[in-house]
Amino acid sequence: MNNSSVADICKEEGLFCSDLPSKPLPHVGTILVTGASGHVGGRLVPELLARGYKVRVMLRGTNSAYKSRWAGAEIVVADALNEKHLNTALDGIDTAYYLIHSMRLGSKSFEAADIRASVNFRKVAGEKHVKRLIYLGGLGDTRSSLSSHLCNRMEVARELRKGKTPVTVLRAAIIVGKGSASYEIMRYLVKRLPVIPFPLQARNKCQPVAIGDVIKYLVGVLEVPETVGKDFDIGGRDVLTYKELLKVLAKLLDKRTIFIPFPFLNIGLYTYLASLLTPIPNSITRCLVEGLKSEAICHDESIKEYFPFETMSFKEAVLRTMPPEKKV
């Protein structure tokens, strides 16, 4: 997603946290949002600003569009692979959101880069006496064989935890929102393929979550001190198989997609098909298709003790991504 399209989407969607049960905490100092040019971080920044927090946004490159998009936020240019940059970015920070992910580098390079970034971040956060870290990672069944992408998301959590700053970890499966890579791949496939071959693994279950609910949880944990240092699974209202997700999506997009069973998960074939049909880079598609191998559902519901709001169904979440005339 480019910079202006993220800004347009945020304007269109508005804010998500107006009905969040928690209240802004006046004693929280400056909050750092990393990954702010991304799908999740880009939506978190306006939400924190609207709740009166002092926000520093960390980007790898900047331009004037960011300044007008986040009026009131401080912008720092920093690469998490560079410790010196992090020294500046984390100076005087109270709480930092860790939303960094290098999937665009491709499956061979992203793992090492993501681990290095998390090691640097944890080290500098400790030296700078940051009070807390909040990380959004991936959800997967640790009893099954996980994709390298999901293993990496868990490894990043472990690395962040090795430091002295307490880390709150939220784990999510597919995030449904405009611009979310996993959701966009599904949407393009359904929009452009009249026949979709589905492997046995498409019977695995998944619990997608709307971007609006993810933002509520990210802001919510900041405002409830009892969540410091804890792990939570977060998910939407529905648990569906990957095939059911595609069927619901096809219906909402008015597509008469035919699903035909396919005996095995040929990751190369799916990646190739997606590369023909979607603008998502192959490197990202490959990582995400591999994720079909395992179930991605919430086993721990403890987040609901703190935030008892009802999360969106998959259908509602998809409808939120559509223009108003389609929502009837």
Q: Kindly determine how many residues on this chain lie close enough to bind ligand NAP according to the rule CB under 6 A.
A: 27
Q: Contact at 8 Å (CB) between 178 and 7?
A: no
Work out which of 180, 201, 227, 321 binds ligand NAP, going by CB under 6 A: 180
Which of 51/178 has CB closer to ligand NAP?
A: 178
> Which stretches of the chain are DSSP H helices?
3-13, 41-50, 64-69, 83-89, 107-127, 148-161, 181-192, 211-223, 242-252, 267-277, 282-290, 303-306, 314-320
Q: Contact at 8 Å (CB) between 176 and 317?
A: yes
- Least distance from ligand NAP to the Cβ atom of residue 258, Å: 26
Alpha-carbon gap, residue 129 to 300, rounded angstroms: 30
Which of 123/262 has CB closer to ligand NAP?
A: 123
Is position 80 an interface residue for ligand NAP (rule: CB under 6 A)? Answer: yes
> Which residues from 111-170 bind ligand NAP, rule CB under 6 A?
117, 136-138, 153
Is position 99 an interface residue for ligand NAP (rule: CB under 6 A)? Answer: yes
Q: Which residue stretch of 78-86, 193-201, 215-223, 239-247 sits at the interface with ligand NAP (rule: CB under 6 A)? A: 78-86
Picking from 79, 71, 215, 14, the residue whose alpha carbon sits closest to that of residue 134 is 215
Which of 39/51 has CB closer to ligand NAP?
A: 39
Which of 40/190 has CB closer to ligand NAP?
A: 40
- Least distance from ligand NAP to the Cβ atom of residue 269, Å: 22
Kindly compute the dihedral angle of the four CA atoms of residues 154, 316, 215, 18, in this order, to the nearest 10 degrees. Answer: -160
Q: Which residue stretch of 17-25, 65-73, 76-84, 257-265 sits at the interface with ligand NAP (rule: CB under 6 A)? A: 76-84
Is position 236 an interface residue for ligand NAP (rule: CB under 6 A)? Answer: no
Q: Can you say whether the dihedral through the CA atoms of 287, 233, 314, 318 is positive or negative?
A: negative
Angle (deg, nearest 10), helices 242-252 and 181-192 = 60
Work out which of 174, 189, 218, 274 binds ligand NAP, going by CB under 6 A: 174
Work out which of 51, 56, 69, 101 binds ligand NAP, going by CB under 6 A: 101
Q: Contact at 8 Å (CB) between 92 and 76?
A: no
Which of 25/283 has CB closer to ligand NAP?
A: 283
Q: Contact at 8 Å (CB) between 107 and 66?
A: no
Which of 38/199 has CB closer to ligand NAP?
A: 38
Which of 20/100 has CB closer to ligand NAP?
A: 100
Work out which of 33, 172, 292, 318 binds ligand NAP, going by CB under 6 A: 172
- Least distance from ligand NAP to the Cβ atom of residue 66, Å: 11
Is position 294 an interface residue for ligand NAP (rule: CB under 6 A)? Answer: no
Picking from 180, 145, 109, 104, the residue whose alpha carbon sits closest to that of residue 265 is 145
Is position 79 an interface residue for ligand NAP (rule: CB under 6 A)? Answer: yes
How far are the Cα atoms of 16, 209, 245, 248 from residue 315, in angstroms, in the given order? 17, 11, 9, 7
Work out which of 16, 57, 93, 102 binds ligand NAP, going by CB under 6 A: 102
- If phi > 0 it is left, if psi is from -120 to 50 it is alpha, else beta; for residue 25 that is beta
How far are the Cα atoms of 5, 69, 78, 115, 210 from residue 27, in angstroms, in the given order? 34, 26, 26, 32, 29
Which of 116/191 has CB closer to ligand NAP?
A: 116
Residues that bind ligand NAP (CB under 6 A): 34-35, 37-41, 60, 79-81, 99-103, 117, 136-138, 153, 172, 174-175, 180-182
